[in-house]
Structure 1
Amino acid sequence: MTFNTEADLGAVERDEWLYAPTIGVGPLRFGMSLDEVVKTAGTFGPTKVSECVRHHSIFAPIWRVEVHHREVAASPPAVTGYVSQAVGLFCIASDAVHGPQVAFDGLRLVGKDLAELESDTIAYAETHDVGLRYTPEGYAGPDDPGIVLRAQRVGLALRSRPLFIVTRDGANTEWDSMPSEEYRLGNNPQPNVV
């Protein structure tokens, strides 16, 4: 059985973005309007905006902004942002293969094998005498309420696809704020299955 590497799947060199809790990721800031997100994201590559289906009437309408790499036009989105009509940008997802690398205090979060990330997270928590958190699906990550780790299928492996979130209108927690589109196992609307 062979496992595909990022190179096998056409991954491009990754940008490195900084995560600032409750502030944003890279150039994207929580609370940005749809126009601001499109303008900012457009400096990195082509964007596509679509309205998300409203699964819960408690939430205001939201839009999905997909950002693709200039170098790989036909690739899945490198970054996906979710913008609420009520609160602006509230969720940023980095694709496991094509997305920018984002770290939490030196702990690389994007595109890692989930077992390796769990091991690294446990070591980080022990070294820094801090907690770690598991998602309801069992994925380990830093104990930061603004980070929800998800899985993305890459070939035969599951890789980490972090969501950086702030609470949106009508939600109690970041987990409650997660867009419905991100609930699917593998989370990738266009899975990287080879």
Structure 2
Amino acid sequence: MDAGAEDRERWVLDPLVGVGPLRFGMTPEQVSASLGGEVPAEHRTYHPFPAGTPWETQGDPTEERLTEERFEGAGVRAHYRGWEEGNGPLLTAVTVLGRTGPQVLLGGIPLIGRQLTAVEADITRYITDNDLGLRFVCRGDLEVYGLGVWVRSARVGDTTVSEARIGAEQWEEE
């Protein structure tokens, strides 16, 4: 593990339900409150009906939809969906950052801040021992199929460490 791994806060993973204090289906306000009132350092939005496109007649061209918030203090990114169902932004996935995020365990395997090849070897054994599926998504991330867990990499200087994206059942990694 990385040098500060033992000092990290530990969060419990509840596959397809949530991680740590975060539960899928929370509003952005509930996410912030669950993270001790932390204000997101960054927001990402998109315009579903941009002016000058064929879609502008299908809605308000000035409408912005929240898709992601970055919480630097907690070491996580919150990912939102739900607009399509008319619910507004609801938490659908959480990325636990490899450099700064809390430690998350899957079946006793630490997922955050480790050498990527070590995590992948542990996950492969876990999948084999528990008769689970394994998939690789477009960017090469390893997915524990059916549990909403993706092992990803994060750059730290000239090397990389592991991080994880934890998703609800309806989350689809792109």
> Normalized against structure 1, the TM-score is what?
0.67
Instruction: Could you tell me which runs of 5 or more consecutive residues in structure 2 were left unpaired when the two chains were aligned.
Output: 50-54, 56-63
Please tell me whether residue 175 in structure 1 is matched to residue 166 in structure 2: no
1:139-161 CA distances to partner (integer Å, 9 max, x unpaired)? 33422351233221012222222
State how far apart, in whole Å, the 2-side matches of 1:134 and 1:11 are: 26
The runs of at least 4 consecutive aligned structure 1 residues that moved more than 6 Å come to none
The correspondence for 2:66, drawn from 62, 75, 88, is 62
Instruction: Could you tell me which runs of 5 or more consecutive residues in structure 1 were left unpaired when the two chains were aligned.
Output: 70-76, 177-194
What secondary structure sits across from 2:117 in the alignment? helix
State how far apart, in whole Å, the 2-side matches of 1:91 and 1:55 are: 20
Structure 1 or 2, whichever has the larger Rg, is 2
Summarize the Cα distance change of 1:82–1:131 in structure 2 as closer, same or farther, 3 Å threshold. closer
1:181 maps to what in 2? Answer: none
Q: Which has the higher contact order (CA 8 A, sep 6+)?
A: 2
State how far apart, in whole Å, the 2-side matches of 1:12 and 1:161 are: 15
More strand by share: 2
Summarize the Cα distance change of 1:141–1:22 in structure 2 as closer, same or farther, 3 Å threshold. closer
What secondary structure sits across from 1:47 in the alignment? coil
Give RMSD over aligned pairs.
2.9
**Alpha-carbon offset, residue 93 of structure 1:** 1.0
2:25 maps to what in 1? Answer: 31
1:80 maps to what in 2? Answer: 77
The correspondence for 1:127, drawn from 126, 129, 132, is 129
1:138 maps to what in 2? Answer: 140
Aligned length: 156
2:91 maps to what in 1? Answer: 89
1:154 maps to what in 2? Answer: 156
- Percent sequence identity is 28
